[in-house]
Structure 1
Amino acid sequence: MADVAAVAGVSHQTVSRVLNDHPSVRAATRDRVLAAIDELGYRRNSAARALVTSRSATLGVLTTGSALFGPTSTLLAVEAAARDRGYFVSVATLSTYDTDTMHQALEHFMAQGVDGIVVIAPHDEVAAAVESFRAPVPVVVVAALDADVSDGGSEQDRGPRTMSVAVDQRAGARRATEHLLDLGHRDVVHLAGPSAWFDARERAAGWREALVARGITPARPRVCSWSAGDGYAAGRDLAEAVVAGEGPTAVLAGNDQLALGLLRALWERGVRVPDDVSVIGFDDVAGAAYFVPPLTTVRQHFAELGARSVAMVLAALAGEPVALERIEPELVIRSSTAPPP
C-alpha cells in the first residue's frame, strides 16, 4: 500500500479509503490510486487484513456430498451471494454425517478463522450434529429446523448463534395439492422423499393438510428415494392400478426426478398424462418445461435462499436481531395437470 501511495502521490490512508470504497475520496484521486494499483499489480494481503480487522472475509459452507438438485443449487446460490457481499467461501462436502465427522469439518472452519458458517442441512443427522456444536461464530442452517432436532430439545437448547432459513416446503406442497383439488381430483397420491429429510417431511405434511382441509382422508404416502428410478418403480405399480380402474387420478411427486420416472412408467403402460392421471413435481429443475408433457411443479427460489443465508450471517456479525425465515415457493402450472377423466 505504501508503494501504491508513492506512485499515486497520495497518503497511505487515502489508498486504504479507496480499497474500502470510502465515499469521501474524490473521483480523480480514486482513479489515480486505481491506476497505480493496476500499474504495480497490487493485491490485498488477506492475512494481514484479517489481523487488523479480526475478520477473514470468508464464510464456511458445509454441505452433503449429494449431487441432488436442491443442495447443489443452494450451494451455488450461497457462493454467489457471498461473492456479491465481498466474501469468499470455504466449502466442505461430506459423504457421512455422524457427529464426529461433522464436528471435525466445523472445527476445520474455526481453524481457518471464518467469520460465519452456512450449513446446508437437508436431513436429520446433519442438523443434529450442527445443533450440538457450540460455534463461536454465527451459524445459519439452511433447513426448517424442528424444535426437537437435538434429542427433544427446545429452542433454548440450541447454540446461541444458530439460526435457520428455508423455503416453505409445506406451503409449496399444499399449494400443489390444492391446485389438483381445484381441478376436481379427489384421489391424490403422494410419492414422498426419504423420511429423514426435512424437505420430504414438510412436503408430505403440506399434501396431507390440503386433503384434510377438503374433508379427504389421505392414504399413506409411498416413501421413495429422490431418484427417477424410484419414481419409475412406483409408476409401474400405479399404472397397473389405473389400467385396472383402481388407481388415483393425480400424483404429487416429492421432486421432479421422481416425477420424471413416473411419467416414463405411465407412458410405457399407455396411461396418458394428464388425460388419465395428472402429475405434479417439486423443484422446477432445468428442463422440467421440456418433459413430455411439460411438468407442473413447485419452483424454489434458490438465489433468494442464498442471499438471505448470507445476509443472516452478516446481520448476526453486526449484532442485529435475526429470526427464522421462510421463503415462499411458486407453483408453475404447465400441461401435466388437467381435470380428472
Structure 2
Amino acid sequence: MTEQERPGRQRPSIYDVADLAGVSHMTVSRVLNGHPNIRPATRERVLRAIDEMNYTRSSIARALATNRTMRIGVLVDSPLQWGPNSTLRALEGAARHAGYAISAFSISDEPSAGIDAGLSALVAQGVDALCVIAPRSSSLDRLRRHREGLPTLVIKAESDPEMHTAAVDQRAGAMAAVMHLIELGHRSIVHLAGPQDWFDARARAQGWRDALADAGLAITPPTVGDWTSDFGYAFGSSLDASNATAVFAANDQMALGVVHGLAERGIDVPGDVSVVGFDDLPDARHFLPPLTTVRQDFDSLGALAMRILIAAIDGEEYAEHDSIAPRLMLRASTAAPRR
C-alpha cells in the first residue's frame, strides 16, 4: 500500500501532482486531456508524478465542475472485424489516458440494433461527444438522418463535409504495397478487394489503381471478396498464375487464404506468385511464408480521434480530416518474379 492509499489519508489532487511535477495545475489538466501542445519532457514529468502519487482523477468532481459526463459515445459497425474492433480498443485506451470513459453500442442491420437505437441509448447516458466507427457507407448514410447535435467524429478514410473524420491513410498504404511489387519487377498485379460498401476497401482499391496507373501498367477489374480467408482460398485455388505474378489482397485474412489456395496447386509463394496483404495481423509474421503487409497504427489513430473529439468538446478548432500514415512491413511473401 502506498502512502497515498493509507486509511485516513486524503487522496492526492491535481494540485498535489502539479506541485510534485513543478508545473501548474492547468498543465496537468492538459496532459490528462491529451493536449498536443505540451513539450515531451513536461509531459513525461507530469506522467511520472501521476504514477508516483497514484493519482486518479475523480470523474464525478470533473463532471460537476465542467457540466460534462467525461464520457464518449461510440457507435461500432461490424465490431467483429479486425479494423473496427482494433479501433474501438484503441479508443478505449486513449480515452482512459485522457480521463474519459467509453460507452460503446454495436450497430447492425437489425431494427433493434440500428443507428437510431444506438444513438438513443448513448444520448440517454449524456455523452459529451460521439465517435462513429462506420466502415460501411450504408451505416453512415443512416447516421446522417439521425444526428443529435453532438460533436461527432467518424472513423473513415474519406473526408466528410458534415463531420470530423480521422483514419489510417488506406490509399497511401495500398500504393506503398503495390509500388513495392512494381519495384521488384512485377508487371501483372491483380487485386483481391474487400466489399465495396466499405470505405477502407474502396480506398485500398483506389491506391492499387493509382500505383498501376502511375507506372503505366494495365489495370484489370479487381475480384471483390468478403474479407474471409475462405474467399481468399477460393481465389487462390482458381487464379491463373500464367497471367499474374503478384496479388495484392485487401486484408491479411484473404491473403492467408490466397497463399493456401496457391500452395495446394503447387504454386510457390513468392517464387511463382508474390502476395501482399493489409492490416498486419499479430500472426501475419508467422504465416508460411511470413506475410508482407501494411501495418495500421490503431493506437495512434485512437489518440488522434480523442484529440479531435476533446477539441470539439472544448469548442477549439481542429482539422476537419486528419490521418495516420501506415507502414509497409516487408517479409518473405514477396520477391522478384522468376519470369
Q: TM-score normalized by structure 2?
A: 0.82
Aligned in 2, Cα 1:214/1:96: closer, same or farther, shift over 3 Å?
A: same
Residue 177 of structure 2: aligned partner: 176
Correspondence 1:19 to 2:13:
yes
**How many Å separate the matches in 1 of 2:15 and 2:128?**
21
**How many Å separate the matches in 2 of 1:329 and 1:26?**
38
CA shift for structure 1 position 107:
2.4
CA shift for structure 1 position 163:
0.6
Aligned in 2, Cα 1:21/1:280: closer, same or farther, shift over 3 Å?
A: farther
Deviations along 1:244-288, one digit per CA (max 9) or x if unpaired, are: xx3300000010000000010011000000000000000000110
From 293, 303, 306, the counterpart of 2:299: 303
Residue 267 of structure 2: aligned partner: 271
**Structure 2 SS opposite 1:230:** helix
CA shift for structure 1 position 196:
0.2
Deviations along 1:138-179, one digit per CA (max 9) or x if unpaired, are: 1111102355xxxxxxx2xx2xxx210011100100110000
Aligned in 2, Cα 1:217/1:288: closer, same or farther, shift over 3 Å?
A: same
Contact 1:82 1:310 in 2 (8 A): yes
From 281, 287, 290, the counterpart of 1:291: 287
**Structure 1 SS opposite 2:299:** helix
Residue 41 of structure 2: aligned partner: none
**How many Å separate the matches in 1 of 2:95 and 2:324?**
18
Residue 317 of structure 2: aligned partner: 321
Aligned residues: 300
Structure 1 counterpart of 2:194, which letter?
Answer: G
Bigger Cα Rg? 1
Deviations along 1:194-248, one digit per CA (max 9) or x if unpaired, are: 000000000000000000111112000000100000000111111xx22xxx330
- Give the percent of matched residue pairs that are identical in Structure 1 and Structure 2: 44
CA shift for structure 1 position 126:
1.8
Structure 1 counterpart of 2:228, which letter?
Answer: S
Deviations along 1:281-333, one digit per CA (max 9) or x if unpaired, are: 00000110010000000000000000101111001112211110011100000
Residue 31 of structure 1: aligned partner: none
Correspondence 1:56 to 2:50:
no
Contact 1:194 1:200 in 2 (8 A): yes
Residue 120 of structure 2: aligned partner: 107
Structure 1 counterpart of 2:262, which letter?
Answer: L
CA shift for structure 1 position 134:
2.8
**How many Å separate the matches in 2 of 1:21 and 1:179?**
53
Structure 1 gaps of 5+ residues are 1-6, 28-33, 148-154
**How many Å separate the matches in 1 of 2:59 and 2:88?**
27
Correspondence 1:334 to 2:331:
yes
Residue 148 of structure 2: aligned partner: 135
CA shift for structure 1 position 21:
4.3
**How many Å separate the matches in 2 of 1:132 and 1:277?**
46
Residue 130 of structure 2: aligned partner: 117
Deviations along 1:55-106, one digit per CA (max 9) or x if unpaired, are: 1111111102431111111110000000011111111012227799202211
**How many Å separate the matches in 2 of 1:250 and 1:197?**
24
**How many Å separate the matches in 1 of 2:189 and 2:59?**
59
**How many Å separate the matches in 1 of 2:16 and 2:129?**
25
**Structure 1 SS opposite 2:95:** helix
Two-structure CA RMSD over aligned residues (Å): 2.6
Structure 2 gaps of 5+ residues are 1-7, 22-49
